Structure formats: structure tokens, C-alpha cells
Amino acid sequence: MKITPYRIALVILLTGLQACTLGQATATPVPATAAPAAPTSIVHTLVPVNLSNAVDTGKAADQDSSKSASNNAAAGGDRFTFGEFERPFNANLMDVYFPYLDIQQAQIYQDEPWIHASIWLKGPDANGGLPGRYALEIDSNRDGKGDWLVLVSRPASGDWSTAGVQVWQDANQDVGGSTAMYSDENMTSGDGFELKVFEDGIGSDPDLAWARISPEDPNLVELSVKLAAVDDDGKFLAGVWAGNDSLNPAVFDFNDHMTHAQAGASVRGFEVYYPIKGLSELDNTCRVAVGFSASGNEPGLCKNPAQPSPAGPSCGLTLNICQQQGYCFVNMDSCQCEVCG
Ligand SMILES: [Ca+2]
Ligand SMILES: [Ca+2]
Ligand SMILES: [Ca+2]
Ligand SMILES: [Ca+2]
């Protein structure tokens, strides 16, 4: 065929028309039949297996608030200034106790290629389910500032599933603010865990993270994430969380994003701040050392009951931090803020 200027012009015109048509098509509402590929098309190649019963390290005990729920309070385990929370209650009145948010114990360990976390809750909601958010926070470089958050919303499956599972990274390293674990003197405007690298099996690795309700215990949420994706040396600190919408990756650390007065307190002994207000329906555990022997001074580490609080040089408290939280003194011997008067 002889190519004439007329034919070239026609081809350009047709191509232009096609492009316009395509442009219009993308702006038109997509019919149901053209919906994005369903998650069932994700091909999984590596699924966690049953968790080991032999591991007895990496356990974190937590307050059982069911015992004090009739008193509309927690009996302990809630120290806002230290990043320890025990708030499985509604705000202000604290007359609704959420057993599905009350962590009793956690266990975290690594078993290549996985990090596994088990979160024991007090009990289900009125419908027999666990409709909260449950998360594993990993501090890869052991500085007390979380690096990764593996979170599942409303786990329902007794089989390992990626449904409702998200993995968040604090890529710009602002979680924890200026003082790891402790409340910062000045509130942060940081973005917490801002980078979502995985959701519902979608991400560069469709097998990155999983969750299930234990087939053996309806009050046990299990999470698994690939070790190599979140830690490079198999040595890390980790703790777990339970919450409703309150468990928002963007506002970590909670005690750097609000004051003690705004958050309130769940223990009646903190009479200046009781009850909980801006921070409610939330529970967490202290952190356990995985893959290394803790010195005892790691920020956020679970305390051996026989061990005193880290004091002296390892205590990160300052008078300014205590004053910002409404206290008047810092006791460096016990590493505690002390009330005024
Ligand atoms: Ca707790
Ligand atoms: Ca608890
Ligand atoms: Ca902090
Ligand atoms: Ca961040």
C-alpha cells in the first residue's frame, strides 16, 4: 500500500480518536463485571503452620481488667507516661468493659521464616467474636521505638488468612518522638506508622503476613509475619496491642500525640487524670526480647517482678517530662514521676 500524507493524517486522526475513547472509558463508572481481580486470584506459596507449643520464652503477662470492671477502673498496668496502657473500657464513664480488647498474655517468638505472636484476650463480645484490631509492634533495632506494625482487623478465620491483615512501616522513623517509650515533652506532629506495605494479601509479597483465631482457643489471636522483611539480624523487641478504631497506626506513639490530661487514666489512684478520656478502648503489653538476652535496660522491656525499674542513667525520665504530664517531681531512684504536694 502506498503511504500518502492523507493516509498518515487518517492514522493520526484514528489514533487520536481511540485515545479519546480510552480516556473517556476510564472516566466512566466501571461496571460490576469489570471489577478489579478478586483477592482469590492472589497466589499464596508459603502459609504458616501450627505454632510451636514447646517455646516458653518471649511471654508478656498483662493485667486482667475484668476483675476491676465493676469498679469502672483498671487495677493497674496503665502508665501513660511510660507507654503502658490498660484501657479496655469506654471513655469517660468507663462503665462498658470490652473483654475482646483485654489482653491477658502475649507470646512472641521467631521460627524461620516467621515471627509469630499469640495474643490471649479475656473473652469474645456479645456475638461470640473478636471484632477488634490486634497488632504486633516490632522494634527491629531495639531502641524502644517501633519500626513495624502488623495488624489484623476483626479476625474471623480459624485458618491462616491474609484477610484484614495489614503491615505498616515507620519509614521516616518518627515513632517514639524524642524519648523512646516515654511521653515527649512537646507533642509530636509525626505521622506514626505511615507506610502501608501490605493489605489483604496485596503487596510485593502476597505471603508477608497472616492471622487467624486459634483452632484450639476462640480467645486467642495469632499473627505471623516474615522475619526477613521486618528484621535483619533476628534480634528485636516486640509487644502487642488490642483496640478498636483507637488502635490507629498514624498516632503512634500515643503518649507523644496527646497529653496525660487529654488521655486520662484508667486507675483510680491517678485521681488527677482518672477516668480515661481521649484515649480509650485500648490495651497493650510490655515488650519482650526475641533472639537475644536482654540486659534489662531496653526501653519498654517487660520487667522481671524481682527486678527494680531501670533507674539512674538508664532512666529516660526528666523533670520536664514529668511536669509536662502534670507531675511535680522525678524520682531517679525508682524512675517514676511523683505527684505534687
Ligand atoms: Ca495492658
Ligand atoms: Ca489487659
Ligand atoms: Ca516518646
Ligand atoms: Ca512515621
DSSP 83-101: TB-EE-B-SSS---B-GGG
**What distance in angstroms lies between residue 82's CA and the mean position of ligand 3's atoms?**
9
Least confident of 11-15, 190-194, 284-288: 11-15
At 302 the pLDDT is 92
Is there a contact between 302 and 107 (Cβ–Cβ < 8 Å)?
Answer: no
The mean pLDDT of the chain is 85
Torsion angle of the four alpha carbons 98, 166, 110, 191, in this order, in degrees rounded to the nearest 10: -90
Q: In the numeric block, which cell numbers belong to residue 225? A: 509475619
Ligand 3 centroid from CA 28, angstroms: 47
User: How large is the greatest C-alpha to C-alpha distance in the chain, in angstroms?
Assistant: 99
Residue 282's nearest CA partner among 266, 298, 300, 294 is: 266
* d(CA 101, ligand 1 centre) in Å: 10
Cα(242) to centroid of ligand 2, in Å?
Answer: 9
Q: Which residue has the higher pLDDT, 312 or 255?
A: 255
| CA 162 – ligand 3 centroid, Å | 31
Among all bound ligands, the one having the nearest atom to the CA of 193 is 4
DSSP assignment of 224-271: EEEHHHH-SSS-EEEEEEEESTT--GGG-SHHHHS-HHHHB-SBTT-T
Task: Find the 282 Cα to ligand 4 centroid distance in Å.
Answer: 20
Average pLDDT of 78-87? 96
One-letter amino acid identity for 340?
A: C
Phi, psi of 132 (to 5 degrees): -95, -170
* Res 319: pLDDT: 78
181 CA from centroid of ligand 3 (Å): 5
- pLDDT of the residue at 324: 64
Question: What span, in angstroms and rounded, lies between the C-alpha atoms of 138 and 125?
Answer: 27
Tell me how far the alpha carbon of residue 186 lies from the centroid of ligand 3, in angstroms: 9
Cis peptide before 253 (omega within 30 of 0): yes
Tell me how far apart the alpha carbons of residues 165 and 172 are, in angstroms, rounded to a whole number.
22
Instruction: Give which of 65, 72, 74, 55 is closest to 103, Cα–Cα.
Output: 65
Kindly report the number of other CB atoms within 10 A of residue 273's CB atom.
21
Q: How far apart are CA 243 and CA 254, in angstroms?
A: 12
Residue 310 DSSP code: P
CB atoms within 5 A of ion ligand 4 belong to 170, 172, 174, 191, 194
CA of 119 to the centre of ligand 2 (A): 11
Cα gap 230→116, rounded to integer Å: 12
Q: What is the pLDDT of residue 71?
A: 97
The percentage of the chain sitting over the pLDDT mark of 90, rounded to a whole number, equals: 67
**Cα 255 to middle of ligand 4, angstroms:** 15
3-state secondary structure of 306: coil
pTM above 0.95, yes or no: no
pLDDT digits (tens, 9 = 90+) for 149-203: 999 999 999 999 999 999 999 999 999 999 999 999 889 989 999 999 999 999 9
Ligand 1 centroid to residue 9 C-alpha, Å? 72
Q: What is the pLDDT of residue 117?
A: 96
**Distance from residue 109's CA to the centre of ligand 4 (Å):** 25
Name the residue with higher pLDDT: 330 or 334. 330
Higher per-residue confidence, 42 vs 120: 120
More confident residue, 331 or 252: 252
Give distance in angstroms: CA of 110 to centre of ligand 1.
Answer: 23
pLDDT value of residue 20: 36
